[in-house]
Amino acid sequence: MEMELDMKDELGVTVERLAAAAGLLEQAVERLAQRQNDFALDAEASIGRIVATVEGRREAELEEKLAAAEAEIAQLKAAAASEPSEVSHGRKTLPLAMVNLLAKQGVAAETMEAGSVDAALTNLSIEQRIAVKAQLMRSGLLG
């Protein structure tokens, strides 16, 4: 009986920690969205350079990549917004590519702690950080 109570307490603490982490992540996503909106408003003011020449293939490719990256960010934001506030307890397996990416940053998925993720991912771009965190959340490794 006592052991069961201890387990419940421990589980409760874990859930609280995960919920707090999820809250922080939501705030981060909101800040990113706000920053992106601010950037868009700034861009409205002025375009650095326009050349009245039909776009070359290379430029078109870059534009396509940019559009794809923007779509991915929007998708991640939507995914983060639709993430249930209650934390799932069932752990899933991280994709191999994600495990490798974390390993390159010196993070082992098995021993990962929520607080250490931010520090470990500082070398990655914002988009990569969002992708990693979203994946970790989906996998139940990060609240």
Partner 1 sequence: MGHSEGLHRRSAGLAGWSELAGRRDGLRGAAGLEMRAMAVEFPVVHGHPNRLPFEGVLTLVDVASDKAPSGAKGHRVVLTRAAAEAALPSLLGMAVDYKAGWDGHDARQKCGIITAAELDGQKLTVAGYLFARDFPEMEAKIQGSGGASNLMGMSYELADAHVADMRAQVWTLTRATFTGAAILLREKAAYRSTSFRVKRPAAAGRRAAVAR
Residue at 85: amino acid letter: S
User: Which 3-62 residues touch partner 1, going by CB under 8 A?
Assistant: 40, 43-56, 59
Smallest gap from Cβ 59 to partner 1, in A, equals 6
- Cα–Cα distance for residue pair 56/137, rounded to 1 Å: 40
Cβ closest to partner 1, residue 7 vs residue 66: 66
Please identify, using beta-carbon distances, which residue of 36 and 105 lies nearer to partner 1: 36
Closest approach, Cβ 51 to partner 1, in A, equals 4
Our CB check for partner 1 shows the closer of 4 and 42 to be: 42
Taking the complex as a whole, the smallest distance from the CB of residue 123 to partner 1 amounts, in Å, to 29
Q: At what angle do helices 2-45 and 126-139 cross, to 10 degrees?
A: 150
How far apart are alpha carbons 15 and 67 in whole angstroms? 37
Q: Single out the residue of 9, 6, 7, 15 nearest to residue 114, CA to CA.
A: 15
Task: Supply the minimum distance, in Å, between the C-beta of residue 31 and partner 1.
Answer: 22
**Residues 59 to 88: which contact partner 1 by CB under 8 A?**
59, 63
The smaller minimum CB distance to partner 1, of residues 27 and 37, is found at 37
Report the first-to-last Cα separation within the chain, whole angstroms.
29
* Buried/exposed code over 22-46 (b: 16+ C-beta within 10 A; e: otherwise): beebeebbeebeeeeeeeeeeeeee
Binding residues (CB under 8 A) for partner 1: these are 40, 43-56, 59, 63
